[in-house]
Amino acid sequence: MRNITILGVTGSIGRSALNVYRNFKDELHIHAVSVNHSIQSMLSVLDQCHPEIAVVTDADACRAHFGASSAQYGDTVIVSGSEGLQQICSDRQSDIVLNAVAGQAGLLPSVWTLSSGTDLALANKESMVCGGDILKKLSADNGGRIIPVDSEHSAIFQLLRDKNRSELSRIIITASGGPFRQRAKATWCDITVEEALSHPTWSMGRKISIDSATMANKGLEVIEANKLFDLDYDRISVLVHPQSLIHSMIEMADGEIYAQIGPKDMSLPIQNSLFYPDIRRNEYNRLDLTKGLMLEMQPIDMDKFRMLAFAYEVGRRGGLWTAFYNSVNECLVAKFLAGTIRFTDIESGMERALECFDADNAIDKSSVTLDNIDAVQKLAMQIVG
């Protein structure tokens, strides 16, 4: 029996993780879960899996619902705030912590998990984008493994398992192209929030759906791949694959290309991370090859999707540049979702912010520390407004 903790249990990744749990109840026990403020949805989860502890990170929401900062619900102790989140990441009661917290808020849970020597199933790409060097050192020092959950990075991770890394030429990350792959750039100024949220192949949260539409999400994945697999950016390629069935590929020195092909279901990379290094039988979703497949591959237009181009730029600069990119993007996406800026203002706002950061010498951009990452986040908020 493997004990697991699921952070962000009511989000899309968390729900997929519960799907895995339901199929492996004889092998998995959920020790702890967390939500931000979705308490009613959390209670439904507690009815299903009865963890020992649940955390509501929004302490005000917890007090408003329960009348206190902690409560008892059946067999589950409910606590609140960042202290509670740190507790379930650090208590070493789980064999693995699945971090599905959204955005940069997921960095500290990753730090706490790896500091305790516990394995980290990482679905929060911002952790690696902002603090990848910190996390890798914690992993090396304390023994907790970083196991990627993003479908693209999980695919690469699996494809590299039996390969000699010295024979690897490059990795190829696939992108669906989002909802505006075929839409003329001249019309982007008219894009509405509803249109940007309509992803053609995946059902995701609001923020990541906007990132997919701008291709910032693919930019974050490129940076994450650099951190996870120690590859130069010249050896990380992106191709548009509208069907989203090839999750990523690797090209070897002899030119042979290996691809991971599977259904559009995040339950599979989650399952592989929770049982790593073992492979368990998948009982809930398989790709039916008898129906035939259309597998398109197209080059990506970096002039059209400038957020991806910016990601390569900051990645090559290194240091705090990637954390700044992430923070600026989070601020701009929030403003777009709130209806205060246009869709095209996301990339123009990023361009202006990077120029401002380049001219700012108050922070040592080469020093990646938690304090400096926090300072960069505050600077991004000031610049974006």
Name the residue with tokens 């403020």: 37
CATH of the domain at 342: 1.10.1740.10
Q: Report pLDDT for 244.
A: 93
Domain boundary among 148, 178, 209: 148
Number of domains in the chain: 2
Whether the CB-CB separation of 268 and 282 falls below 8 Å is answered with yes
The answer to whether residue 203 sits within a structural domain is no
Contact (Cβ atoms closer than 8 angstroms) between residue 267 and residue 20:
yes
Supply the pLDDT for residue 261.
95
Rounded Cα distance, 166 and 251, in Å = 12
Q: What's the number of CA atoms in the CB half-sphere (13 Å) around residue 230?
A: 6
Distances (CA, A) of 368 to 61, 135, 173, 249: 33, 11, 26, 30
Question: Which token pair is 178?
Answer: 């989002």
Q: Report the CATH number that the domain containing residue 120 is assigned in CATH.
A: 3.40.50.720
Q: 302-323 burial, b if ≥16 CB within 10 A, otherwise e?
A: eebbbbbbbbbebbebebbbbb
**The Cα angle at residue 271 between residues 269 and 276, in degrees rounded to 5:** 95
Say what the pLDDT of residue 292 is.
Answer: 84
Closest C-alpha among 329, 362, 366 to residue 348: 329
In angstroms, how far apart are the furthest CA atoms of the chain?
64
Cβ–Cβ contacts within 10 Å for residue 244, how many? 18
Provide the domain limits for residue 363: 318-385
Whether 307 is in a domain gets the answer no
Note whether residue 288 is domain-resident.
Answer: no
> Which of 104, 133, 148 finishes a domain?
148
Q: Is residue 28 part of a domain?
A: yes
Residue 282's pLDDT is what?
Answer: 87
**Do the beta carbons of residue 326 and residue 222 sit within 8 Å?**
no
For position 200, what pLDDT does the model report? 78
Query: 378 Cβ partners below 8 Å, 6+ apart?
Result: none
Residue 328 belongs to a domain:
yes
Closest residue by Cα to residue 121 from 95, 147, 145 = 147
Q: Which of 122, 148, 174 is the last residue of a domain?
A: 148
- Enumerate the H helices of 230-320 as residue ranges: 267-275, 306-317
Name the residue with tokens 């290996």. Answer: 258
Q: DSSP letter at 145?
A: -
Asked whether 303 and 352 are in contact (CB, 8 A), the reply is no
Structure confidence at residue 201 (pLDDT): 75
Dihedral-angle region of residue 230 (phi above 0 means left; psi in -120 to 50 means alpha; beta otherwise): left
Is 313 a member of any domain? no
Two tokens at 106? 């997921």
* pLDDT under 50: residue ranges of the chain: none
Q: What is the pLDDT of residue 318?
A: 97
Residue 259 lies in a domain: no
**Residue among 208, 284, 234 at smallest CA distance from 21:** 284
Of the candidates 98, 109, 80, 91, which has an alpha carbon nearest to the alpha carbon of residue 30?
98
Domain assignment of residue 228, yes or no = no
